[in-house]
Chain A
């Protein structure tokens, strides 16, 4: 039961991270590999707030989300002139830098040993704690869905589409491109920070290997497989990539070879998805719907 709870909770948390990151990737056309870096900030803020300062978890979550929002805004200002490839490289650099900081800033992060003893979100009983944690994760997914939906349907969504297709055109039409990027980057960072905080609560500890470049690339993969630019695609992508490796355990792949086989299947799946379904699962569904609509009812 604990095992299943862990998988579902992780999938829900990663779904909200993917959805918030897709505002950058799918809507604005900015490939980002720093989602895990923001998750780590949220996680460390919770770790330090609860295990070191003895504060309740919720303060750690608020602190983490605020820190992420601020760093997201600073990153957006710094990256305001970068486009596409350069933005990807810049986010890659930020991810590596923050992993480096969490390894080396021992006074704050406790280095490679990490922070243990993160207090559960509700201290009354483990069952209540799990329930509260799950409800918090569902609420976060709900919030990220609302942010996604409302941004995409608003005039800001139009500006983001214009930035995705032609940044110069957006500027020429008088759109404030740096500020639009700042809005989406900081809101995405806040959601990632909050998700990182809840994840740290679930794990009970945090170390620098929890949120590395691998996790950021995995988040990007979830978005691409699910279908970038779709509200539900990244959620499905997250569910598949979290559950798929676990499902492999049930089909008799175990032992030292399991990890390698999983990596091979994961890589093959990703290549197949990019080659055959470049718009991900959401794209396949969209095509199917269009076909159904264009078929006359009596044919």
Chain B
């Protein structure tokens, strides 16, 4: 049996994943596929399980049933650290950055597999300076990519809300992750900056990364998403192209 290019590009596949907070079912047998070079958007009313889906895929919450496959291999995500090793990175609804560190240091922190993070290398400075120079160059490139290169030496805590969202996205990209899970990337930011974030996501998609966004704004979803997943009460109600948002089933979820 031959595989089509679309099947080959599947980065992550969830099979009937389930998660409950006590008696409240947040994810009820949800199955979905996330493809490289594609932006998938999760939409749904409040409490639909959108953020729980990101939490489960990023290893923050432990799956209670179902399976997750990354590049075709079944994996068990024990922690956010484990997910990062599998090439999964995420941002949070409220942008999380290390406020007392500079913008550049935040991106440098995100660089993967740094030998200077090991004790003896840190003490004796082995293999560190060359690698640090290289990482600094890459970090500055990512800062330029998200438009924050002018703020490289500014403490992250002094950035505006929107700039912190951009920085969190920059950090996420600097991890070299293949799957980005972005929780409401454009919510609460100036429309101009939201446009900038959408442009960045378009470029990221072209770089072949798989992107999953949680989004409330249908206009944003229509503009950038290739695939839409609609959740309601933890169940997958519909999925497909952005046109799915105009179907009666989906509209019913939002009018209650």
* Chain A interface residues toward B at CB < 8 A: 146-147, 150-151, 154-159, 161-162, 165-166, 168-177, 180, 183, 187
10 residue pairs of the A-B complex, CB under 8 angstroms, read A151-B123, A155-B128, A156-B118, A165-B99, A166-B96, A169-B98, A172-B58, A173-B109, A174-B112, A177-B81
Which residues of A lie under 8 Å from residue B65 when comparing CB positions? none
* CB nearest neighbor in B for A186: B119
Tell me the bound Cα distance from A158 to B128 in angstroms.
13
Which residues of A lie under 8 Å from residue B108 when comparing CB positions? 155, 158
Tell me the bound Cα distance from A187 to B117 in angstroms.
15
| A172 touching B90 in the complex, CB below 8 Å, given contacts A150-B122, A158-B109 | yes
Which residues of B lie under 8 Å from residue A176 when comparing CB positions? 81, 117
Judge whether B29 is part of the interface by a CB distance below 8 angstroms.
Answer: no
CB distance from B112 to the nearest CB of A (A): 5
Cβ-defined partner of A154 (8 Å) among B85, B100, B122: B122
A-contacting residues, B90-131, CB 8 Å:
90, 96-101, 105, 108-110, 112, 114, 116-119, 121-125, 128
Cβ-defined partner of B125 (8 Å) among A154, A161, A183: A154
Tell me the bound Cα distance from A52 to B125 in angstroms.
40
Tell me the bound Cα distance from A173 to B177 in angstroms.
10
Whether B81 lies near A150 (C-beta < 8 A) is: no
Whether A172 lies near B105 (C-beta < 8 A) is: no
Size category, B interface: 35 or more
Which residues of A lie under 8 Å from residue B80 when comparing CB positions? 168, 171-172
* CB nearest neighbor in A for B123: A150
Known contacts A173-B175, A174-B84, then 9 further A-B pairs from the complex at CB < 8 Å, ordered by chain A residue? A150-B125, A154-B128, A155-B109, A156-B116, A157-B122, A158-B105, A169-B96, A174-B112, A175-B117
Which residues of A lie under 8 Å from residue B40 when comparing CB positions? none
Whether B109 lies near A175 (C-beta < 8 A) is: yes
Tell me the bound Cα distance from A176 to B110 in angstroms.
12
Judge whether B60 is part of the interface by a CB distance below 8 angstroms.
Answer: yes
Whether B171 lies near A173 (C-beta < 8 A) is: yes
* CB nearest neighbor in A for B115: A155
Cβ-defined partner of B98 (8 Å) among A150, A154, A161, A187: A161
Which residues of A lie under 8 Å from residue B99 when comparing CB positions? 165
Whether B119 lies near A156 (C-beta < 8 A) is: yes
Whether B122 lies near A155 (C-beta < 8 A) is: yes
Whether A175 lies near B60 (C-beta < 8 A) is: no
Nearest 4 Cβ contacts at the A-B interface: A174-B84, A155-B116, A154-B122, A183-B119
CB distance from A171 to the nearest CB of B (A): 4
Tell me the bound Cα distance from A113 to B128 in angstroms.
50
A-B contact count (CB 8 A): 90
Which residues of B lie under 8 Å from residue A166 when comparing CB positions? 96, 98
Which residues of B lie under 8 Å from residue A165 when comparing CB positions? 98-101
Tell me the bound Cα distance from A106 to B57 in angstroms.
53
CB distance from B129 to the nearest CB of A (A): 10
| A162 touching B109 in the complex, CB below 8 Å, given contacts A150-B123, A155-B132, A173-B171 | yes
Judge whether B163 is part of the interface by a CB distance below 8 angstroms.
Answer: no
Cβ-defined partner of A174 (8 Å) among B85, B96, B121, B123: B85
Whether A174 lies near B100 (C-beta < 8 A) is: no
Which residues of B lie under 8 Å from residue A161 when comparing CB positions? 98, 100-101
Cβ-defined partner of B81 (8 Å) among A146, A158, A171: A171
Tell me the bound Cα distance from A180 to B81 in angstroms.
13
Tell me the bound Cα distance from A154 to B118 in angstroms.
9
Tell me the bound Cα distance from A165 to B101 in angstroms.
10
CB distance from B97 to the nearest CB of A (A): 7
Which residues of A lie under 8 Å from residue B83 when comparing CB positions? 172
Judge whether B79 is part of the interface by a CB distance below 8 angstroms.
Answer: yes
> B84, B108, B125 — which one has the most chain A CB atoms within 10 A of its CB?
B84
CB distance from B88 to the nearest CB of A (A): 9
Tell me the bound Cα distance from A161 to B105 in angstroms.
10
Tell me the bound Cα distance from A159 to B84 in angstroms.
15
Judge whether B89 is part of the interface by a CB distance below 8 angstroms.
Answer: yes
| A168 touching B60 in the complex, CB below 8 Å, given contacts A159-B109, A177-B81 | yes
* CB nearest neighbor in B for A182: B119
Which residues of A lie under 8 Å from residue B105 when comparing CB positions? 158
Tell me the bound Cα distance from A165 to B105 in angstroms.
14
